[in-house]
Amino acid sequence: MLVSMMIVKKLTGQTQGLQCRFRKDGDCKMARVKKSETFTKTCKECGTPAIKNSIECTSCGTELKTSNGMGTVEPIKSKKDIEAMKVYLKSKSLRDWALFVLGINSALRISDLLKLNISDVVDENGKIRERILVKEIKTSKSKNFPFNNNVVNALTEYISTLPFDQIPLFASRKGEESITRQQTHRILSETAKKCGIKESISNHSLRKSFAYALYEAGVDITRIQSLLNHSSPKETLRYIGINQLENDRIFMELNL
């Protein structure tokens, strides 16, 4: 049982009830946990450390939200930080680099990224497909979108190094199955720290970073809301971490 894999130790602070944002039907074994302001959590299977003030559901992979309705995993807001993470990841693993590039350019959830096979992105002629069709695990909706140049280049370089008989796109070292979301959490979290990023960065940061970059580029918030399948623009703004200080910055920098 997944709960038995986790050690949650209360250190200080008042505990808060946390609830899995998407799995409210009881199927998620980690749907309800307790969290203190300061805590430690270690997975006995992969040794994944927790991020302070952030918990991701280890059963279904979605971000847990606090009682105020907001998650604590942040988008990577600086393009400089994004490039720094790309450089670091590529120096360590082409697989992890390609996963990061695809994730941050597609808004796919980590569960959808990790279910991809090589045949999903490579055609019968061995070329990277121009676009991809994905049926989302969470919503069961189909998502059809094109690959931009950065994704094509990353996938081309990465896939050229893979064994011809590998099936999963982002396989573990054994090559038979995809890496786990616990592994990707650890990879992203540790990379962010190595790059000097102080915010809580994890799997869900890829999708949030995609949305935040669109917002910064001036894309209408209702368009971003539609891409993320949110119920309101307010939810989308909260999701990507737009707070009052950033709204104030817009007014201060306008100077017409």
By annotation, the residues acting in catalysis are 109, 138, 204, 207, 230, 239
Contact 101, 154 (CB under 8 A): yes
Q: Give φ, ψ of 126 to 5 degrees.
A: 85, 15
How many alpha carbons lie under 13 Å from residue 218 in its C-beta half-sphere? 0
Contact 47, 57 (CB under 8 A): no
Question: Which residue's entry shows tokens 């209702």?
Answer: 222
Type of residue numbered 34: K
For the chain, the 3-state helix, strand and coil shares in percent, each to the nearest 5, are: 40, 20, 45
**Strand partners for 132:** 145
Dihedral sign for Cα 82, 87, 91, 93, please: positive
Rounded to whole angstroms, the Cα distance separating 144 from 223 reads: 16
Selection from 67, 111, 85 nearest residue 204 by Cα: 111
